[in-house]
A and B are shown apart, each in its own frame.
Chain A
Amino acid sequence: MDILLIGLVLLMSVGVGWSIGANDAANSLGTAVGSKVIKLKQAIILIVVFGFLGAYFQGSSVAHTIGKGIVPMDKLNKDAALYLALVASFAACAWVVLATFWKMPISTSHSIVGAVAGGGLAINAPVNWKIILDVFICWICTPLGAAILGYIFYRIFKNIFYRIIPRKYIKITMATLIIVSGCYVAYTWGANDVANSIGVITGAGILSPKVSIALGGLAIILGIVTWGYKVIETIGTEIAHLLPVMAFSAQLASAVNVHVYTIFGIPVSTSHSIVGAIVGVGLVKGAKMLNLRIMKDIIFCWLATPFVSGVISFLVFKIILSFVKLKLA
């Protein structure tokens, strides 16, 4: 039974990792592909390498928050922890699939946090509401902080860039900066988002942190190479219209923003960060970035996600509990 449960948890976690790789890989170097600074294949290689490095070297602190911070899964009975890991990853995965079907731009980070809390409540496990509140506040600050940083960076770089660097080096310098900042985004993305996939695995003690992070990193890579490249292509070639200095400023702002949260072990939406950064950069140019309706939809998805995944997790766990007797400790 344990092996079956473990197999299912791993499968669900790989599913979440795949979805992260498929959907969010484009956030790092999509605009660089669009600016024709880098080719699609080169972008994919860089995202894969830096995403994995970020996950491997700095993914553990956010994984700790998801696996042990929201609900101390390591202090639960082994079976209860396994079931919680299974239900939480199932609920997060189910909501991601449904949201994809309904074309809603949800965050996997928000989904997994809600799912773990919902599952914890179902078995009366001690849910750490202080951490949840902290995480919630950080979710509000993520796009705002990125927008402020994007605004500041673009204001600085657009004024000094062309004055400092000799004309003949501008193109190569800009290309290098875009690639480097894109790799930094990929690194912080891997570091923050890998926990969404494997946080519950480490929490339930199924695999060691390093092995589970490696597994999550591989799942994300699988997502990038099987589907994510299509999204990168769409964003790069059809949607994003950013000038190189804007792309660099937005990427740097988003990466710094996510990196700070990653250091403190807070799972945040890397998508909200890059969107916030682009909005900030756009404000300098006075570009109309979002209309009110789009803003409303994004905020609705943002608010609904942890609640819905939490409810799914809670209900599924309650159903399981009607068939299975579980001890909490």
Chain B
Amino acid sequence: MKEMRNILSWMGMAAEESILKDSEKHVEETYQSVVYFSDAVEAFIRGDVGAKTLAIEKVSECEHKADILRSKMVDSLSESLLLPPDREDLMHFVKTLDKIADWTLGAARLLGFIEQKLPDDVLTNVSKATDLIVASVSKLKDGIIEITKNDLKKALSDAQDVGRLEHEADEQKRILIGVIIHAKLDPATLLLSYQLAEYLEGVTDKIEDAADFIKVIAIKAR
């Protein structure tokens, strides 16, 4: 159906393209929030509280910008008389994209609460989990750019890579929790560290959810 040149179908598809273009901007903000979170983790490992706080503030700013973009995209999906054929998928996609930034901010806030210096093996594994998030969100960003360029094969391949990275993040979470349990932390830090591990894996989960919608949109567009 995508090949038809009927003007009404075309206008729906043009609206879909426009939403996907906005989602490119959204994922860019999300990517930035993840990068700032990664900076916050590095600063935390170095023990640089000032840099950590600054990076967490940046994560919050990016999340706010992503929120504004989400509202714009939801408006575009509801205002027009002729809507994209895949509007329901797009609506879920938009919501899922927004959750990535939300969960990243959640993880950043937890990191902000941890004041005690964590043991090296915990920090190493937090760093590894953060790297997986950055790698996943990069793949997601590539996937969205490719879908807007109509390179469906590459978009699907990137979405599959995100799935693989999520699997690794699952495994990383198991290792991190194991290390946290054996780290003899005080109760508050133990609780916060455990929550942080949950959130780190949660972010990759949300990235995978967004990648699943890329698969849906790509398969439908074939």
Contact = CB atoms under 8 A, between A and B. Distances in A.
A241 B4 CA distance: 19
B3 A287 contact: no
A265 to B, nearest CB: 23
B73 to A, nearest CB: 13
Nearest to B84: A239
Contact of A101 (B3, B80, B81): B3
A228 to B, nearest CB: 9
A133 interface: no
A27 B80 CA distance: 18
Contacts of B81: 240-242, 246, 278, 281-282, 285, 287, 289
Contacts of B10: 103-105
Given A103-B10, A288-B80, A291-B18, A239 B5 contact: no
B79 A239 contact: no
Contact of B15 (A106, A230, A294): A294
- Interface majority SS (helix, strand, loop, mixed), chain A: helix
- Quick one: which of B6, B11, B83 has the most chain A CB within 10 A? B6
B1 A231 contact: yes
Contact of A100 (B4, B18, B83): B4
Contacts of A285: 81
B6 A287 contact: no
Contacts of A272: 7
Contacts of B181: none
Given A240-B81, A288-B80, A289-B82, A100 B11 contact: no
Contacts of A290: 11
Interface string B63-88: 00000000000001001111111000
B112 interface: no
A241 B8 contact: no
Interface string A7-43: 0000000000000001110110010000000000000
A234 interface: yes
Interface string B1-33: 111111111111111001000000000000000
B9 A275 contact: no
Given A241-B83, A289-B82, A26 B6 contact: yes
B8 A27 contact: yes
Interface string A279-306: 0011001011111011001100000000
B6 to A, nearest CB: 5
Contacts of B4: 22-23, 100, 230-231, 234
Given A294-B11, A294-B14, A235 B6 contact: yes
Interface in A216-256: 230-231, 234-235, 238-242, 246
Contacts of A103: 2-3, 5, 10, 13
A274 interface: yes
A36 to B, nearest CB: 16
A290 B76 CA distance: 10
A192 interface: no
A313 interface: no
Nearest to A279: B81
A99 interface: yes
A197 interface: no
A238 B6 contact: no
Interface in A149-172: none
A234 B85 contact: yes
Contacts of B80: 241, 287-289
A271 interface: yes
A100 B13 CA distance: 13
Nearest to A291: B18
Contacts of A297: 14
A100 B8 contact: no
Interface in A67-125: 96, 99-101, 103-106
A243 to B, nearest CB: 9
Given A239-B82, A287-B81, A289-B82, A104 B12 contact: no
Contacts of A27: 6-8
B11 A24 contact: no
Nearest to B11: A294
Given A278-B82, A282-B81, A288-B80, A105 B12 contact: no
